[in-house]
Amino acid sequence: MRPRTIVLGLVAVVVLVGGILLSITDQFFVDLLWFRSLGYGSVFATTVKAEVAIFAAVWLFAFAAMVASGLAAVGLSRDRERLRVVRRPGEGAEVNLPELIRTLGDRVPWRVIVVVASAVLAIFVAQGEAVSWDVYLKALYHVPFGVKESAFGHDVGFYVFALPLLEELRDAFLLVIFLAGAVAAAVYWARGALDFRETPPRIAPAVAAHASILLGLFFVQRAFGFWLARFNLLLHTNGVVFGLRYVDAILWQPGLWLLVVFSLLAAVVCFANLTERGLARLVVAAIISFGPSLLLNFAQPVIERLWVKPDELRIERPYIERNIAMTRRAYKLGGVDVKQFGGLGTLTMASVEQDAPTIKNIRLWDPRPLIATYRQLQEIRLYYDFKDVDIDRYTINGNYTEVMLSAREMNIDQLPESAQTWVNQHLKFTHGVGLAMGPVNDKDSEGLPIFYIKDIPPVSSVGFKIDQPGIYFGEEPDNYAIVNAATPEFNFPKGAENVFSFYQGEGGVGVSGILRRLLFSIFYKDINLLVTENIVPKSRIMFRRNLTQRISYIAPFLVLDRDPYPVIHDGRIAWIVDTYTTSDHYPYSQRNADQINYIRNSVKVVVDAYTGATEFYVADPEDPVIQTWERIFPTLFKPMSQMPGDLRLHIRYPEDLFLIQADIYRTYHMTDPQVFYNREDLWGFPRENYGDQIIAMQPYYVIMRLPRETTAEYILMLPMVPQGRDNMISWLAARCDGADYGHLFEYSFSKDRLFYGPYQIQARINQNPEISRQLSLWNQMGSKVVFGNLIVIPIQDSLLYVEPLYIRAENGQLPELQRVIASYSDRVVMGETLDATLQALFIAGPAPAAPVLAKTAAPGAVPGVPAGRDLQSASQHYNRAMDALKAGNWAAFGAEMQALGQELGQPAAQLNH
């Protein structure tokens, strides 16, 4: 290799290493400035100190091990200082070794090569451990759970906090042994002491001695792994029991101790081979270590088949009991309040009116079609975007009211291509503005939503005041923005003109000055940050503006809910984000589809949409995991009592957590081991038909008065059905308000009666002749009928089903709420409004034997009214209502049915005037 090539190669290496160091340094200072701007400099310092300490300790250990192994190989290998060729037996031809090895052997001492190679390889090992800094800190600062498992007598905290670290160290030790062996093997091969081209391979005695040490260490690591495997017996499953089983207790608990002993014995045999320097003892050591493990694996199915399977329930019963108890504890299901729901009540119009708060808040707008309507009516300009529609509640005009709302964010990707300039993307179009809000249960005359808050700047018809509607932080993808630049920002459109302004907050990081501009220019690989004249002394750069990215960067150990929601707070908009602490190491607890088996909604995060201020409030102070993180980061978290009162009114039980709990509860509501073992009462999520697809029903928020309660409250609920069937078996609810927040209920239905499930009600709707005829008519007229969420509303020990119906043009994106369908008992009716539908549903009395719309009546007779009266007026109203129904005139139908109800409500004397 020519000297010039070597010099160029060295220059390339220096440039590469320099670039990596520059990137790391730049990242460090950008992060430091960002954390300090949020008031979390101590959080950043703790994290960096932990990463550096772990990196240094692991690097030193890995480097020492590899250097020792490599230098030993150099000393033990045959003395071929400038090896250029290796001859095959019986051959005179030379075979060139790789040019790089030959060159290095000629010009650089082998000891230097070993040291450099070990230092580089140790970096990868250390970095792999440093990124797991949270595992180390949790083990060092952990708080006990105060719950002990019975197999080993350890606190649950040992499994959640300490065991993951021990597993991390086990794997790192194995990796170091492997790399130390690889360095030694490379040296031996390059220096001719190891030649794999011969059959069998030629191995020098010194190599065998070195291999004996490395294999001995491998068997020590294997013994440590077997010792840890005892605890992992509480973290696996055979499909019947999660955690320790009978075969684990009688075979693997003692068996793993034997494997520990045999592995240590194998290590002793390897170390003893240092004097013999042969391969025979190494083979014996492998047999000693691996042989018993194979025998135990062969013994397990024999024990299960001959002893466990014939009487599995009796034998596994104590382990099933532990599995049930610990799973319910891990998912916080032990406090579920089980109540009976007989379904024996009888609803009338009068009883429905007594539950007016519940009825008035029945959700008729489904977030799925509503988002399209909001986009058509309220995005105003093409660069604004509604990401999704959220559900919340406010007190409006003295009434506790459920609302739907969506924040109007800036999406620069929707700017015309000609407007996609650097100035527009980062200096001009920097923020969204305001939000749209409306009631869940109302519409205008055209079937479109009514808005409590609308337009830009936002105006309210019910008294909401938003003084600062700017949204710089939200759900849109992250895009850095420079505020208080020389050029003003676009604030909002006003007619044919635009309104411009300057930022008035404290968000972001100062970006003026050549050093900071250079820092961020390197960080974003954007030369414009360095050369633009728009950055002035007051300029600030806002980045990590996406809520998920922002929170995850501050607290990567928290798992974020998928649905942040905006709240009007103190004249501005704030985001509330639910976050979770989780673990996959809770003993005996069943893992879910995401492979976790412990979860708590421990932290509520509030992000100011204008300034980006991010606050972490502890919502579950009894959670040992969040207590551990509070010890690690004492300045990061605040108690829930410090959250502003108007924000506390809007916290809600998160849907993601509720779904996870419901998924586990559908099996673990069975607390009797025999019922659990036979899966006699396994539940599932109900199905619903949406958009011509059958999907699992999602939980829904609703304001309602729970059975036997006196006031309406905000809850999250979900019906449940037997596995593989569609009838309802129960419904689950989580309270969201006040001191009862987080209280879980199960309302269990009687198993000797049929309760229609959502999918069955939808089938009955489709089978109703009048409704089916009307749906066919709409679909044939170039319109598309879209069904919304079917809501199941428990009222006074009865069930009321309500489903909205939307109509949109075949190729349109503006769904209109045109009908409301309701079902009770055997009736299914459809009306233009909820009030009209309920009156039609209950006007003829409670619980008829057939759907009211399917009934016919003889001329002059009104169903459900005693004979012998002069009911000419009532009969006329009824007949006109039926004529209107056949003609599809729902307004006339509702008016005539209302008039009929008024007639029937009069005394007999007045009816016979």
Mean pLDDT of 462-481: 96
Residues pairing with 822 in the sheet: 802, 829
What is the per-residue pLDDT across 212-223, written as a single tens digit (0 to 9) for each? 999 999 999 999
- Residue 903 has a pLDDT of 63
What pLDDT, on a 0 to 100 scale, did the predictor assign at position 848?
38
pLDDT of residue 103: 55
Is the pLDDT at 721 greater than 60, yes or no? yes
pLDDT classification of 690: cutoffs 50, 70, 90: confident
The mean per-residue pLDDT over the stretch 792-808 comes to: 92
| Res 906: pLDDT | 45
Burial of 325 (0-12, 13-18, 19+ CB in 10 A): middle
**Mean pLDDT of the 313-332 span:** 97
Q: Which residues pair with 806 in a beta bridge?
A: 786, 817
Mean pLDDT on 225-244: 94
Confidence of residue 537 (pLDDT cuts 50, 70, 90): very high
Q: How many residues does the chain have?
A: 913
Omega within 30 of 0 (cis) for the link into 200: yes
The tens digit of pLDDT for each residue in 43-67 reads: 999 999 999 999 999 999 999 999 9
On the question of pLDDT at 432 being above 80, the answer is: yes
Q: For position 80, what pLDDT does the model report?
A: 44
Using the predicted structure, report yes or no on whether residue 898 has a pLDDT greater than 80.
no
Contact 628, 600 (CB under 8 A): no
Q: What is the pLDDT of residue 879?
A: 67
Residue 748 pLDDT exceeds 50? yes
> Is residue 313's pLDDT more than 60?
yes
Name the strand (E) or helix (H) holding 202. strand 202-203
- At 864, is the pLDDT very low, low, confident or very high (cuts 50, 70, 90)? very low
* pLDDT at residue 912 greater than cutoff 70: no
Separation between Cα atoms, residue 807 and residue 820, nearest integer Å: 12
**Residue in 748, 749, 751, 735 with CA at minimum distance from that of residue 701:** 735
Residue 418 clears pLDDT 50, i.e. is over it: yes
- The alpha carbon torsion through 252, 257, 260, 261 (nearest 10 deg) reads -130
Per DSSP bridges, beta strands 637-639 and 614-618 are parallel
Residue with tokens 């987080």: 742
Residues 6+ apart with CB under 8 A from 615: 605, 606, 607, 638, 643
Question: For position 265, what pLDDT does the model report?
Answer: 97
Q: What pTM, to 2 d.p., does this model score? A: 0.88
pLDDT at 717: 97
What pLDDT was estimated at residue 84?
38
Determine the pLDDT at residue 206: 80
What is the pLDDT at residue 198?
60
Please give the average per-residue pLDDT across 128-157, as a whole number.
97
Q: Please write the tens of the pLDDT for every residue from 252-268.
A: 999 999 999 999 999 99
Q: Which two tokens stand for residue 232?
A: 């992992």
- Concatenated DSSP letters of 496-565: TEEEEE---S--SEE--SHHHHHHHHHHHT-THHHH-S---TT-EEE---BHHHHHHHH-TTSEEPS--E
- 315-329, 437-451, 608-622, 698-712: segment of lowest average pLDDT: 698-712
Give the list of residues 6+ apart from residue 861 with CB closer than 8 angstroms, or none.
Answer: 867, 875
In angstroms and rounded to an integer, the radius of gyration of the C-alpha atoms of the chain is 36
* Bond prior to 624 in cis (omega within 30° of 0): no
pLDDT at 34 over 50: yes
Average pLDDT of the residues in 105-122: 85
Q: Are 208 and 259 in contact (CB under 8 A)?
A: no
Res 101: pLDDT:
57
Q: Pick the residue with more confidence: 809 or 89?
A: 809
Higher pLDDT, 912 or 344: 344
Residue-wise pLDDT for 277-307, tens only, equals 778 889 999 999 999 999 999 999 999 999 9
Q: What is the pLDDT of residue 538?
A: 96
131-140 b/e (C-beta count within 10 Å ≥ 16 → b): eebbbbbbbe
Q: What is the pLDDT of residue 188?
A: 87
Q: What is the distance between the terminal CA atoms of the chain, rounded to a whole angstrom?
A: 120
Residue 857's pLDDT is 38
- Predicted confidence at residue 780, as pLDDT, reads 78
**Confidence check: pLDDT of 531 > 60:** yes
Dihedral sign, Cα of residue 111, residue 113, residue 119, residue 123 = negative
pLDDT of residue 873: 67
pLDDT digits (tens, 9 = 90+) for 380-393: 999 999 999 999 99
| Average model confidence (pLDDT) across the chain | 89
Q: Which of 220-234, 542-556, 898-912 has the lowest mean pLDDT?
A: 898-912
| Contact between residue 774 and residue 888 where contact means Cβ atoms under 8 Å apart | yes
889 pLDDT band, cuts 50/70/90, is: low
pLDDT at 372: 92
Quick one: pLDDT at residue 865? 44
